[in-house]
Structure 1
Amino acid sequence: MRSTSLFAFLLAAAAAPALAQAPASEKPTPSETAPIPVKPEPRQQRPIEPEQPAAEPAPSVESQPPVAPPVAPLATSEPTGLQPVSAPEEQVLVNGAPLHNPNVSVHVVQKKRFADEGRHELTLYPMVAQVNGRFTEHFGTAFHYTYHLQENFGLQLSTQYNWYSNESLFNLELIDKVREQAQAASALLLLWGVQAGVEVTPLYGKFAFYDNHLLQFSLVLSGGAGLGSTRVLVRPEVSNEVDGKTFTVPARFGDTGSKFLGSVGGGFRVQFGDSMALRLEVRDQVYTARVDRVDGCSLQDFQKLEDGRSSGTPFSELGLTGSCQYQRFDGVDPKTHKNYREDIVLGKDLVGNPSSDVLNNLSFYGGFSLLF
């Protein structure tokens, strides 16, 4: 029995190296009770997302700097592509800007090329024409002196003389056809005026002239006050027949004294270079109108003149007021043989019913200036 067990042990020991040297390709047969292996299905690979950095803690409101709002791009109607530049003149600078270059657009308003502060300006208006004449018509010439105290503020002294001032054709037609006319105060005429005032230039700019010059313009506003000399129509122009010959007797005007004169206006000044400028303005001259004396004579003076004419008493002995210019109602015109004493009745009618009004003389001013 013991020998049998020993024989089995030696046989098992001899078979062990043979089993260890068996080829690796030979797989052991699975047991009937062992579980059947199942092939796993392939998994779909997800795209690898980049790792996001950890969120930093939000800064406090006090330490957070202000964020500027996004600036929208400027809209433009020009093509986005550059235009070919071949002509040499397109590279020439006009007053510092290539105005002929199609690839360049200037959008910046530069400073004024010529400063006005501390300069003097003399302005001549050869033609001043009234544009709102209903009962009156005025044409004249004006001269203004301006000292530019600051760039946008100046002191101004202005004078004006109306070499033509008469009642309008509408009013003269009323006198000729229906023997009616506007009140003397409503038809008061301005002969000359002197004013002192100020001028301001709130806006200025530039524009291209013939594509190679830049002109500087300014919006000017002005105002002033002073005195003006007025007159009234005593007798319109008439025809007088003497010895079979017809003479034209000129119109007769009577002095009505000095009146308060004020003005407001506005317009444009276009500057050419450093010392020349063109001015186009509209001004409204306002003056008080009251007719109670003609040639210095009051209603009482005209009554004495009429009595002296009837009695043949010399006018110098009638005891008239010192302001009455009675010489203008005495004598005969040597050319037309017009008797001036006939105007006494006309003057008396003007002051018989004293009238007052405030007149607006709206006029257009066109002239040129010299700056130095």
Structure 2
Amino acid sequence: MRTILSFALLVSTVARAQMVAPLAESALLRSSLAVPAQVSQTPPSSETPPPAAPGAPPRHEMGSSVPDQETPSTARPLSTREAAPEAPAPVTDVPADAPTVTVDESELRTTTAEQQRLVHGAPLYNPNVAVHIVQKKRFADEGRHEFSLYPVAVQVNGKFTNHLGSALHYTYHLQENFALQVTGQYNWHTDESDFNLELIDKVREQAQAASSLLLQWGAQAGVEVTPLYGKFAFYDNTLAQFSVVLSGGAGVGGTRHLIRPEVSNQVGGETFSVPARFGAAGNKFLGSVGGGFRLQIGDSYAVRLEVKDLIYTARVDRVDGCNLADFEQMEAARVSNDPFEGLPLSSGCKFQKFDGVDPKTRKNYREDIILGRDLVEEPSSDVLNNVSFYAGFSVLF
């Protein structure tokens, strides 16, 4: 009977050890704990038991009497703490021969190689890609010379005057954003506005001489600054660089005033068209402020669009160098039909422009003396603003 109980106890112990072994397999491999090796299985009763070791208590057959002293069991069940030790910390070291996962980069791309090609730092072939960088200017301006030609410079605020001309600028770039500039301008069309001419024709009134003074030419020296610049794509394969420019300068300008508008002259039954007559009003102080847009294409060429305000002082006290006293003496000589050469005129008076007859139009210039006297009879002064739009191109080297 004791043999049967011992066999049952051994079977239950082995069964419990097999249930716990899968949970503690990894821990047992890395720990020093080992399952006792003394566990032995009892063969079936039909087999011959192995011989007993010397000094060991004798085994009893089934049905024999059980001795008073109980034989200790040779198998010891694992306790819960020994069967399920704590899990070790995760291993951070990856073996050198560990398998790696490779990903084809072409599968992650959403654009082709041609679309990703950069032209001067910008993805021109993929407009959906944004470039979030700030780059320096493609072409440096420091130390370079620039000649700018403005074939057209047209006044845009003409109330009493109209100006249309051309300008030429020379710019030396001392620094990337600062330059010195010399400007020359000539207005090949200067005339009073249609509004002022209509006043003269219909009501025999006109604006004050200073308010309708015309700027014929100007020369200035100044500076130019470039506070902003950038670039943009032009079509598919061209990048253009743009700059916002601000300029200012001072100099001198030549002025003139309308003496007589265009008229028709009838002599001997013939009608002649007499062009308008202008008289020089002297040189005046000239200043300017402006701003615009420069579009540079390539290393050496640029297009310029600018707006400038030419400011000049206007005071009309002489016409063709003749003051009020000179006109009064010439008028008295005209009435008496005396020559002008012996008159005590001022040194700057160009009386030749008010003497003689035009051979083409048969116009007697002495008739313009009274018109010139009216301009200087009541001297007037003003500060005029000639706001003009400039369109041109420039060459850099």
TM-score interval, normalised by the smaller of the two chains: 0.7 to 0.9
Normalising by structure 2, we get a TM-score of: 0.72
Equivalent in 156, 160, 175 of residue 135 of structure 1: 160
Matches within 5 A, 1:226-245: 226-245=251-270
**1:290 aligned to which of 308, 312, 315:** 315
Secondary structure at 1:185's aligned position in 2? coil
Q: Which residue of 1 aligns with 2:111?
A: 85
- Per the TM alignment, residue 245 of structure 1 is displaced from its structure 2 partner at its CA by 2.6
CA RMSD of aligned residues (A): 2.2
- Cα pair distance change 1:289/1:84, threshold 3 Å: same
Q: Counterpart of 2:285?
A: 260
State percent identity of aligned pairs: 70
> Secondary structure at 1:362's aligned position in 2?
strand
**Unaligned residue ranges in structure 2 (runs of 5+):** 1-64, 71-85, 87-106
Contact 2:143 2:175 in 1 (8 A): yes
Superposed CA offset, 1:27-82 (max 9, x none):
xxxxxxxxxxxxxxxxxxxxx9xxxxxxxxxxxxxxxxxxxxxxxxxxxxxxxx96
Find 2:274's aligned residue among 241, 246, 249. 249
| CA distance 1:257–1:82, change in 2 (3 Å) | farther
Equivalent residues in 2 for 1:90-129, closer than 5 Å: 90-101=115-126, 104-129=129-154
1:369 equivalent in structure 2: 394
Alignment partner of 1:319: what SS? Answer: coil
Residue 212 (structure 1) shift:
1.7
Deviation of 1:124 (Å):
0.2
1:211 and 2:248 matched: no
Which of 168, 181, 196 is the equivalent residue of 2:221? 196
Distance 1:113 1:324, change over 3 A: same
Distance 1:340 1:102 in 2: 69
User: Residues 102 and 241 from structure 1, CA distance in 2 versus in 1: closer, same or farther, beyond 3 angstroms?
Assistant: closer
1:303 paired residue number: 328
Which runs of 5 or more structure 1 residues have no equivalent in the other structure? 1-17, 24-47, 49-80
Structure 2 letter corresponding to 1:115: A
Q: Indicate conservation of the 8 Å contact 1:82/1:103, yes or no.
A: no
Task: State the distance in 1 between where 2:381 and 2:396 align.
Answer: 42
1:106 counterpart SS class: coil
CA distance in 2, matches of 1:97, 1:337: 70
1:353 maps to which residue?
378
Are 1:344 and 2:369 counterparts?
yes
Partner SS state of residue 366, structure 1: strand
**TM-score normalized by the length of structure 1:** 0.77
Instruction: Tell me what 1:147 maps to.
Output: 172
Contact preservation (8 Å) 2:124, 2:233:
no
The alpha carbon displacement at 1:302 in A equals 0.5
Partner Cα separation in structure 1 for residue 127 and residue 363 of structure 2: 76
Equivalent residues, number: 300
Of residues 167, 172, 186 in structure 1, which corresponds to 2:192?
Answer: 167
Higher CA-based Rg: 2
Q: Secondary structure of the equivalent of 1:333?
A: coil
| 2:298 equivalent in structure 1 | 273
Deviation at 1:104, TM superposition (A): 4.4
Distance 1:360 1:305 in 2: 34
Paired residue secondary structure (2:366)? helix
